[in-house]
Structure 1
Amino acid sequence: MLGAPFTVAAAEDLKEPDIVENGKIVDGRTMIPIRIVSSRFGFQVDWHQESKTVIIRDDITRIDLQLSTPKAKVNEREVMLDIPAQIIQGVTYVPLKFLGDAFGANVSWSSPFKAAHVIYADTDLLIYTTIPPVPKLTEGQIRIFSDIANQAAVITNASDAKKRYKPYFTSEMLGNIIWYKGLPFKTEFNSASHGSVEYGDMYRSTATVSQVAHFDSLVWVSRTMEFRFVDHGWKVSRIDFKYVYF
Protein backbone atom coordinates (compact mmCIF):
# COMPACT_ATOMS: atom_id res chain seq x y z
CA MET A 1 0.00 0.00 0.00
CA LEU A 2 1.35 3.42 -0.99
CA GLY A 3 -0.62 5.86 1.12
CA ALA A 4 -0.78 9.65 1.39
CA PRO A 5 0.52 9.66 5.00
CA PHE A 6 3.92 8.60 3.70
CA THR A 7 4.28 11.10 0.84
CA VAL A 8 7.27 13.43 0.86
CA ALA A 9 8.20 16.30 -1.43
CA ALA A 10 11.71 16.31 -2.89
CA ALA A 11 14.10 18.65 -1.11
CA GLU A 12 15.52 21.51 -3.10
CA ASP A 13 19.27 21.64 -3.48
CA LEU A 14 19.97 25.07 -2.04
CA LYS A 15 23.22 26.98 -1.77
CA GLU A 16 24.20 27.24 1.87
CA PRO A 17 24.94 30.75 3.21
CA ASP A 18 28.05 31.43 5.29
CA ILE A 19 27.21 31.36 8.98
CA VAL A 20 28.12 33.93 11.64
CA GLU A 21 27.16 32.78 15.14
CA ASN A 22 27.92 35.75 17.40
CA GLY A 23 25.14 38.21 16.66
CA LYS A 24 23.48 39.80 19.71
CA ILE A 25 20.11 41.13 20.86
CA VAL A 26 20.60 44.33 22.87
CA ASP A 27 17.57 46.21 24.24
CA GLY A 28 15.41 44.50 21.65
CA ARG A 29 17.75 45.45 18.79
CA THR A 30 19.61 42.98 16.59
CA MET A 31 23.32 43.78 16.73
CA ILE A 32 25.86 42.62 14.14
CA PRO A 33 29.63 42.07 14.61
CA ILE A 34 30.77 44.67 12.08
CA ARG A 35 34.39 43.54 11.58
CA ILE A 36 33.48 39.95 10.73
CA VAL A 37 30.63 40.95 8.43
CA SER A 38 32.62 43.71 6.67
CA SER A 39 35.52 41.31 6.09
CA ARG A 40 33.13 38.75 4.57
CA PHE A 41 31.95 41.52 2.24
CA GLY A 42 35.54 42.06 1.11
CA PHE A 43 36.18 45.33 2.97
CA GLN A 44 39.31 46.29 4.89
CA VAL A 45 38.61 47.16 8.54
CA ASP A 46 40.84 49.40 10.67
CA TRP A 47 40.51 50.59 14.26
CA HIS A 48 41.65 54.06 15.36
CA GLN A 49 42.16 53.99 19.11
CA GLU A 50 42.43 57.74 19.74
CA SER A 51 39.15 58.66 18.07
CA LYS A 52 37.45 55.33 18.91
CA THR A 53 36.56 55.01 15.23
CA VAL A 54 36.19 51.99 12.96
CA ILE A 55 37.09 52.69 9.32
CA ILE A 56 35.68 50.26 6.75
CA ARG A 57 36.76 50.68 3.15
CA ASP A 58 37.37 49.25 -0.28
CA ASP A 59 38.33 50.96 -3.55
CA ILE A 60 34.96 52.72 -3.82
CA THR A 61 33.44 53.05 -0.36
CA ARG A 62 34.67 54.40 2.98
CA ILE A 63 32.63 54.11 6.15
CA ASP A 64 33.61 55.96 9.35
CA LEU A 65 31.91 54.53 12.41
CA GLN A 66 32.57 56.13 15.80
CA LEU A 67 31.64 54.45 19.06
CA SER A 68 29.02 55.99 21.36
CA THR A 69 27.48 58.14 18.64
CA PRO A 70 24.41 57.32 16.53
CA LYS A 71 26.00 58.88 13.45
CA ALA A 72 28.27 57.34 10.82
CA LYS A 73 29.71 58.58 7.53
CA VAL A 74 29.48 56.72 4.24
CA ASN A 75 31.63 58.54 1.66
CA GLU A 76 30.99 61.76 3.64
CA ARG A 77 27.24 61.08 3.62
CA GLU A 78 25.81 61.02 7.13
CA VAL A 79 23.94 57.89 8.16
CA MET A 80 21.97 57.60 11.40
CA LEU A 81 22.09 54.42 13.48
CA ASP A 82 19.16 53.16 15.56
CA ILE A 83 21.53 52.94 18.51
CA PRO A 84 25.25 53.77 18.68
CA ALA A 85 27.92 51.23 17.83
CA GLN A 86 29.25 49.54 20.95
CA ILE A 87 31.88 47.07 22.07
CA ILE A 88 30.65 43.83 23.64
CA GLN A 89 33.29 41.40 24.92
CA GLY A 90 35.91 43.05 22.72
CA VAL A 91 33.80 42.96 19.55
CA THR A 92 32.32 46.05 17.87
CA TYR A 93 28.60 45.73 17.14
CA VAL A 94 26.22 47.86 15.07
CA PRO A 95 22.44 47.56 14.59
CA LEU A 96 21.29 45.28 11.77
CA LYS A 97 19.63 48.12 9.88
CA PHE A 98 23.05 49.74 9.43
CA LEU A 99 24.05 47.05 6.92
CA GLY A 100 21.29 48.15 4.60
CA ASP A 101 21.87 51.86 5.10
CA ALA A 102 25.68 51.80 4.80
CA PHE A 103 26.38 48.92 2.42
CA GLY A 104 23.12 48.74 0.49
CA ALA A 105 22.82 45.11 1.62
CA ASN A 106 19.54 43.21 1.41
CA VAL A 107 18.60 42.41 5.02
CA SER A 108 15.82 40.22 6.41
CA TRP A 109 15.03 38.73 9.81
CA SER A 110 13.79 35.26 10.80
CA SER A 111 11.91 35.26 14.11
CA PRO A 112 11.77 31.43 14.46
CA PHE A 113 15.55 31.08 14.08
CA LYS A 114 16.50 34.48 15.60
CA ALA A 115 18.82 35.03 12.65
CA ALA A 116 19.48 37.81 10.14
CA HIS A 117 19.82 36.89 6.48
CA VAL A 118 22.12 39.35 4.71
CA ILE A 119 22.89 39.42 0.99
CA TYR A 120 25.53 41.76 -0.39
CA ALA A 121 26.93 41.33 -3.91
CA ASP A 122 27.96 37.64 -4.07
CA THR A 123 28.02 37.23 -0.28
CA ASP A 124 25.19 35.42 1.49
CA LEU A 125 25.29 35.42 5.31
CA LEU A 126 23.16 34.01 8.10
CA ILE A 127 23.89 35.81 11.37
CA TYR A 128 22.54 33.98 14.42
CA THR A 129 21.86 35.71 17.73
CA THR A 130 20.25 33.88 20.67
CA ILE A 131 19.58 30.49 19.02
CA PRO A 132 22.45 28.38 17.65
CA PRO A 133 22.34 27.10 14.05
CA VAL A 134 20.55 23.80 13.45
CA PRO A 135 23.18 21.02 13.52
CA LYS A 136 23.54 18.90 10.41
CA LEU A 137 22.48 15.28 10.44
CA THR A 138 25.45 13.05 11.15
CA GLU A 139 26.23 9.72 9.54
CA GLY A 140 25.64 8.03 12.87
CA GLN A 141 22.20 9.62 13.26
CA ILE A 142 21.14 8.58 9.77
CA ARG A 143 22.10 4.96 10.49
CA ILE A 144 20.10 4.99 13.73
CA PHE A 145 17.02 6.45 12.00
CA SER A 146 17.38 3.90 9.19
CA ASP A 147 17.45 1.02 11.67
CA ILE A 148 14.46 2.48 13.55
CA ALA A 149 12.48 2.76 10.29
CA ASN A 150 13.29 -0.89 9.55
CA GLN A 151 12.01 -1.90 12.99
CA ALA A 152 8.85 0.20 12.63
CA ALA A 153 7.87 -1.56 9.40
CA VAL A 154 5.59 -3.81 11.45
CA ILE A 155 3.73 -2.60 14.56
CA THR A 156 2.16 -5.29 16.77
CA ASN A 157 1.82 -3.37 20.03
CA ALA A 158 0.61 0.23 19.79
CA SER A 159 1.35 1.12 23.40
CA ASP A 160 4.90 -0.18 23.19
CA ALA A 161 5.44 1.57 19.83
CA LYS A 162 4.39 4.95 21.26
CA LYS A 163 7.07 4.75 23.95
CA ARG A 164 9.75 3.13 21.83
CA TYR A 165 9.54 5.34 18.75
CA LYS A 166 8.57 8.69 20.27
CA PRO A 167 12.19 10.01 20.26
CA TYR A 168 12.58 9.23 16.56
CA PHE A 169 9.30 10.21 14.83
CA THR A 170 7.18 13.34 14.96
CA SER A 171 3.81 12.87 16.67
CA GLU A 172 1.95 12.95 13.34
CA MET A 173 4.27 10.43 11.71
CA LEU A 174 4.18 8.09 14.70
CA GLY A 175 0.38 8.28 14.75
CA ASN A 176 0.28 7.27 11.07
CA ILE A 177 2.62 4.33 11.62
CA ILE A 178 0.55 3.02 14.52
CA TRP A 179 -2.74 3.56 12.69
CA TYR A 180 -1.54 1.55 9.67
CA LYS A 181 0.23 -0.99 11.90
CA GLY A 182 3.55 -0.26 10.27
CA LEU A 183 4.92 0.98 6.96
CA PRO A 184 3.69 0.09 3.44
CA PHE A 185 6.83 -1.97 2.68
CA LYS A 186 8.38 -4.48 5.03
CA THR A 187 11.64 -4.49 3.06
CA GLU A 188 14.72 -3.93 5.22
CA PHE A 189 17.07 -1.21 4.03
CA ASN A 190 20.81 -1.19 4.62
CA SER A 191 21.43 1.44 7.28
CA ALA A 192 24.97 2.04 6.00
CA SER A 193 23.86 2.70 2.42
CA HIS A 194 22.09 5.91 1.51
CA GLY A 195 22.27 8.91 -0.79
CA SER A 196 23.45 12.37 0.17
CA VAL A 197 21.54 14.48 2.65
CA GLU A 198 19.50 17.23 1.00
CA TYR A 199 18.42 20.15 3.16
CA GLY A 200 15.13 21.83 2.36
CA ASP A 201 15.90 25.41 3.41
CA MET A 202 18.86 27.64 4.17
CA TYR A 203 18.33 27.16 7.91
CA ARG A 204 18.75 23.37 7.45
CA SER A 205 15.61 22.74 9.52
CA THR A 206 14.34 20.01 7.17
CA ALA A 207 16.22 17.30 5.30
CA THR A 208 15.68 14.21 3.14
CA VAL A 209 17.70 11.01 2.76
CA SER A 210 16.99 8.27 0.21
CA GLN A 211 17.85 4.56 0.19
CA VAL A 212 17.29 1.72 -2.27
CA ALA A 213 16.68 -1.95 -1.48
CA HIS A 214 16.07 -5.04 -3.64
CA PHE A 215 12.39 -6.00 -3.71
CA ASP A 216 11.63 -8.70 -6.28
CA SER A 217 13.36 -9.89 -9.46
CA LEU A 218 14.32 -6.71 -11.36
CA VAL A 219 12.26 -4.45 -9.09
CA TRP A 220 13.81 -2.36 -6.34
CA VAL A 221 12.17 -0.02 -3.84
CA SER A 222 13.41 3.41 -2.76
CA ARG A 223 12.71 4.74 0.70
CA THR A 224 12.95 8.48 1.26
CA MET A 225 12.93 9.71 4.83
CA GLU A 226 12.10 13.35 5.50
CA PHE A 227 13.44 14.84 8.71
CA ARG A 228 12.40 17.90 10.68
CA PHE A 229 14.34 19.57 13.50
CA VAL A 230 11.84 19.78 16.37
CA ASP A 231 12.08 19.71 20.16
CA HIS A 232 15.82 20.45 19.95
CA GLY A 233 16.53 17.39 17.83
CA TRP A 234 16.00 15.63 14.49
CA LYS A 235 12.93 13.45 13.94
CA VAL A 236 11.49 11.61 10.96
CA SER A 237 8.41 13.48 9.75
CA ARG A 238 7.51 11.48 6.60
CA ILE A 239 8.53 8.36 4.70
CA ASP A 240 7.88 7.72 1.01
CA PHE A 241 8.30 4.46 -0.89
CA LYS A 242 8.56 4.12 -4.68
CA TYR A 243 9.24 1.29 -7.08
CA VAL A 244 12.49 1.45 -9.02
CA TYR A 245 12.77 -0.60 -12.23
CA PHE A 246 16.06 -1.61 -13.90
Structure 2
Amino acid sequence: MLHVNSRTALLNNAAFSLDVPAKIENGTTYVPARVFAEAFGGTALWSEQERKATITIGLQQVFIHTEPHKHWRMSQERINVLNEKINEATDLSSYSQIRTHFRPYFTDSFINKIIYSNGIKNNAILTKKGRYYLQ
Protein backbone atom coordinates (compact mmCIF):
# COMPACT_ATOMS: atom_id res chain seq x y z
CA MET A 1 0.00 0.00 0.00
CA LEU A 2 1.42 3.29 -1.11
CA HIS A 3 -0.16 6.67 -0.40
CA VAL A 4 0.59 9.65 -2.62
CA ASN A 5 2.79 12.27 -0.89
CA SER A 6 3.65 9.89 1.97
CA ARG A 7 7.16 8.74 2.83
CA THR A 8 5.86 5.50 4.35
CA ALA A 9 4.52 2.45 2.53
CA LEU A 10 3.31 -1.02 3.50
CA LEU A 11 4.57 -4.18 1.82
CA ASN A 12 3.04 -7.43 3.10
CA ASN A 13 1.88 -5.49 6.21
CA ALA A 14 5.44 -4.34 6.97
CA ALA A 15 6.05 -0.59 7.00
CA PHE A 16 9.10 0.86 5.31
CA SER A 17 10.24 4.39 4.56
CA LEU A 18 10.66 5.91 1.13
CA ASP A 19 13.44 8.19 -0.06
CA VAL A 20 10.83 10.18 -1.99
CA PRO A 21 7.03 9.89 -1.87
CA ALA A 22 4.87 8.78 -4.76
CA LYS A 23 3.29 11.71 -6.59
CA ILE A 24 0.65 12.44 -9.18
CA GLU A 25 1.60 14.86 -11.94
CA ASN A 26 -0.66 15.66 -14.89
CA GLY A 27 -2.78 12.57 -14.23
CA THR A 28 0.19 10.19 -14.06
CA THR A 29 1.24 8.49 -10.82
CA TYR A 30 4.99 8.31 -10.26
CA VAL A 31 6.32 5.64 -7.90
CA PRO A 32 9.95 5.45 -6.74
CA ALA A 33 11.78 2.76 -8.74
CA ARG A 34 13.09 1.12 -5.56
CA VAL A 35 9.54 0.64 -4.24
CA PHE A 36 8.43 -0.88 -7.52
CA ALA A 37 11.42 -3.24 -7.68
CA GLU A 38 11.22 -4.36 -4.04
CA ALA A 39 7.46 -4.92 -4.25
CA PHE A 40 8.21 -7.57 -6.90
CA GLY A 41 11.17 -9.10 -5.04
CA GLY A 42 13.85 -7.21 -6.93
CA THR A 43 16.36 -4.47 -6.37
CA ALA A 44 16.99 -0.97 -7.63
CA LEU A 45 20.50 0.47 -7.73
CA TRP A 46 21.54 4.03 -8.57
CA SER A 47 24.87 5.06 -10.07
CA GLU A 48 25.39 8.78 -9.62
CA GLN A 49 28.49 8.72 -11.83
CA GLU A 50 26.58 7.16 -14.75
CA ARG A 51 23.27 8.82 -13.77
CA LYS A 52 21.69 5.42 -14.27
CA ALA A 53 19.22 3.31 -12.30
CA THR A 54 19.32 -0.46 -12.66
CA ILE A 55 16.18 -2.37 -11.70
CA THR A 56 16.61 -6.12 -11.37
CA ILE A 57 13.68 -8.49 -10.91
CA GLY A 58 14.61 -12.14 -11.25
CA LEU A 59 16.74 -12.50 -14.38
CA GLN A 60 15.34 -9.34 -15.96
CA GLN A 61 17.08 -5.98 -15.80
CA VAL A 62 15.89 -2.53 -16.80
CA PHE A 63 18.30 0.38 -17.16
CA ILE A 64 17.04 3.94 -16.77
CA HIS A 65 19.43 6.64 -17.93
CA THR A 66 18.84 10.23 -16.82
CA GLU A 67 20.24 13.57 -17.84
CA PRO A 68 21.73 16.05 -15.39
CA HIS A 69 19.48 18.83 -14.17
CA LYS A 70 19.71 21.78 -16.48
CA HIS A 71 19.91 25.21 -14.97
CA TRP A 72 17.57 27.73 -16.45
CA ARG A 73 17.69 31.45 -16.20
CA MET A 74 14.68 33.52 -15.28
CA SER A 75 14.17 36.40 -17.68
CA GLN A 76 14.14 39.98 -16.47
CA GLU A 77 10.57 40.26 -17.80
CA ARG A 78 9.48 37.34 -15.58
CA ILE A 79 11.32 38.84 -12.59
CA ASN A 80 9.48 42.12 -13.18
CA VAL A 81 6.08 40.38 -13.34
CA LEU A 82 6.76 38.38 -10.16
CA ASN A 83 7.97 41.51 -8.40
CA GLU A 84 4.76 43.30 -9.40
CA LYS A 85 2.65 40.40 -8.09
CA ILE A 86 4.62 40.25 -4.83
CA ASN A 87 3.96 43.96 -4.38
CA GLU A 88 0.25 43.33 -5.02
CA ALA A 89 0.27 40.63 -2.34
CA THR A 90 1.03 43.13 0.42
CA ASP A 91 -2.64 44.19 0.61
CA LEU A 92 -5.17 41.42 -0.05
CA SER A 93 -8.28 43.46 0.75
CA SER A 94 -9.01 44.31 -2.88
CA TYR A 95 -9.04 40.68 -4.09
CA SER A 96 -12.19 38.61 -3.72
CA GLN A 97 -10.54 35.59 -5.41
CA ILE A 98 -7.00 35.65 -4.04
CA ARG A 99 -6.06 32.16 -5.21
CA THR A 100 -7.43 32.73 -8.71
CA HIS A 101 -5.61 36.05 -9.02
CA PHE A 102 -2.19 34.77 -7.92
CA ARG A 103 -2.29 31.14 -9.24
CA PRO A 104 -0.58 31.98 -12.59
CA TYR A 105 2.38 33.42 -10.67
CA PHE A 106 2.84 31.49 -7.41
CA THR A 107 2.50 27.92 -6.13
CA ASP A 108 -0.55 26.96 -4.07
CA SER A 109 1.71 26.52 -1.06
CA PHE A 110 3.06 30.08 -1.39
CA ILE A 111 -0.44 31.48 -1.93
CA ASN A 112 -1.61 29.73 1.24
CA LYS A 113 1.27 31.33 3.16
CA ILE A 114 0.34 34.75 1.76
CA ILE A 115 -3.29 34.27 2.82
CA TYR A 116 -2.37 32.87 6.25
CA SER A 117 -0.06 35.84 6.84
CA ASN A 118 -2.74 38.23 5.55
CA GLY A 119 -0.38 39.46 2.87
CA ILE A 120 3.36 39.82 2.48
CA LYS A 121 4.66 42.05 5.24
CA ASN A 122 8.15 42.83 3.92
CA ASN A 123 7.64 44.67 0.66
CA ALA A 124 10.90 44.44 -1.28
CA ILE A 125 11.34 45.72 -4.80
CA LEU A 126 13.89 44.23 -7.19
CA THR A 127 15.67 47.19 -8.70
CA LYS A 128 18.37 45.68 -10.87
CA LYS A 129 18.82 42.71 -13.09
CA GLY A 130 20.40 39.75 -11.40
CA ARG A 131 21.15 36.17 -12.21
CA TYR A 132 18.51 33.84 -10.81
CA TYR A 133 18.90 30.12 -11.30
CA LEU A 134 16.58 27.37 -10.16
CA GLN A 135 17.50 23.75 -9.90
TM-score by length of 1: 0.25
More helix by share: 2
Normalized per residue, which structure has more strand? Answer: 1
TM-score (norm 2): 0.40
Higher relative contact order (CA 8 A, sep 6+): 1
- Structure (1 or 2) with the larger CA radius of gyration: 1
